[in-house]
Amino acid sequence: MRLKNTMTGEIGKLGAADAATTLYWQRFSVPYEYPVAFTRHLFAPGNELLAQVVALREAGKRHKCLVYVDDGLAAAAPGLIPAITAYFDAHAGRMELLEAPMRAPGGEKIKRELTHIESVQDSIHRLGVDRHSFVIAVGGGAVLDAVGLAAATAHRGVRHIRVPSTVLSQNDSGVGVKNAVNLNGVKNFIGTFAPPWAVLNDFELLNTLPPRERLAGISEAIKVALIRDGDFFAWLEAAADRLLTFDPATEEYMIRRSAELHMHQIAHGGDPFELGSARPLDFGHWSAHRLEALTHNHVSHGEAVAIGVALDTRYSVLTGLLPEGEDVRVAALMEHLGLRLWHPALIRPGSAGEPAILTGLREFREHLGGELTVTLLDSIGEGVETHEMDPDLVIQSIDWLRAREGA
């Protein structure tokens, strides 16, 4: 029996012809939309943004809210939790804070243990948070990931508002549709695709970051510029000194433009929930994820992405895709921003004697569903997909990074 797709025609066979078999294709589409806003002093009583977002689609109702704050952010900004409480007091007609804002472990710590997810789900159950209530996460990408996963799986989906507090989460992960935590050392093994209710970026929160972390977040802006917008990459080169000194206008433009490019890819790339094998926004990430694991996260995600992007850019040159010298241009920008492009873990031997970093390709292939698809560059601003990586050329690319470091 051949199956017929009424939209695209014949799609293949399913068993033998059987007159007693009836086959239906169930189809429906669900539109997704959510606001992504950029502001300052989100929790100042006079800033109406959060209160307005909570009231979207249900004006006049008082909404129950549960708030989690990244513990690193809370320590760096001791006035933040009192400010959140005061904000709810000022807007009590529209918002009810069910419990004092709770701290959540920041960084990869919250993604390593499933008990953190269970703790959020327990609170959702205990406090009567329903599908018309809100779970608000304030913090870095790991906290947004973990709290978002708990919200997406409680009641099969509780409304979730993200308040990203890092460069990395504001210019990349916070505006997306993924929530995930790790399992058995495998990054983002457990997760969902669940668009948030809203993403509210507060530029003031960036002032709580250590300079190293603040600069490392630029690596995701460089990544998306390399695969989608050569003019933006040229702007990053010209703006490097101002980015180094955290010039507010420059940093804000970098974040907004990076977020726009990430959002455009998700909305118009044809695969927002990653049903296929192509992952253009994961340019440089196959080695970055492995490097994070090999260093037990002593190399942060942003720092690992910088190394991975430099590695795959050099690989693109060695394969003849990218003109010679463009790899130097990319590496020079990241080095100028203080991003190191070398770590000894890149040459740490694995169980088979080859560099352990190469197992990142196997893990990436498994993550993609069995077919390896890696984004490389054929020009600055233009990514291209390949389905194989030559281990010898990968090692040559690593040697190139080592030579630039002088290691």
Lowest-confidence region among 14-28, 142-156, 189-203, 377-391: 14-28
Q: What is the pLDDT of residues 308-326, one digit of tens each?
A: 999 999 999 999 999 999 9
Q: What is the pLDDT of residues 284-312, one digit of tens each?
A: 999 999 999 999 999 999 999 999 999 99
Q: What is the pLDDT of residues 13-40, one digit of tens each?
A: 555 556 678 888 999 888 999 999 999 9
Chain-wide mean pLDDT for the chain? 92
339 — pLDDT class (breaks 50, 70, 90): very high
If you write DSSP's letter for every residue of 77-114 in order, what string do you get? -TTHHHHHHHHHHHTTTTEEE-SSPEEE--TTHHHH-T
Would you state the CATH architecture of domain 213-405? Answer: Up-down Bundle (1.20)
Domain spans in the chain, listed from the N-terminal domain onward:
36-208, 213-405
Q: What is the pLDDT of residues 237-275, one digit of tens each?
A: 999 999 999 999 999 999 999 999 999 999 998 888 877
First to last CA, the chain: 63
Lowest-confidence region among 107-116, 306-315, 316-325, 392-401: 107-116
* DSSP3 helix / strand / coil % (the chain, rounded to 5): 50, 15, 35
pLDDT-above-90 percentage for the chain: 77
72 touches 210 (CB < 8 A):
no
> If one looks up domain 36-208 in CATH, what number appears?
3.40.50.1970
Alpha-helical runs (H) found in 181-318: 211-216, 218-228, 230-238, 240-244, 248-268, 285-294, 301-318
Cα torsion 92, 95, 100, 104: sign: negative
Q: What is the pLDDT of residue 12?
A: 54
Fold matches, 36-208 and 213-405: no
User: Of 12-26, 105-119, 362-376, where does the model show the most confidence?
Assistant: 105-119
Which pTM does this prediction carry? 0.91
Q: What is the pLDDT of residue 10?
A: 47
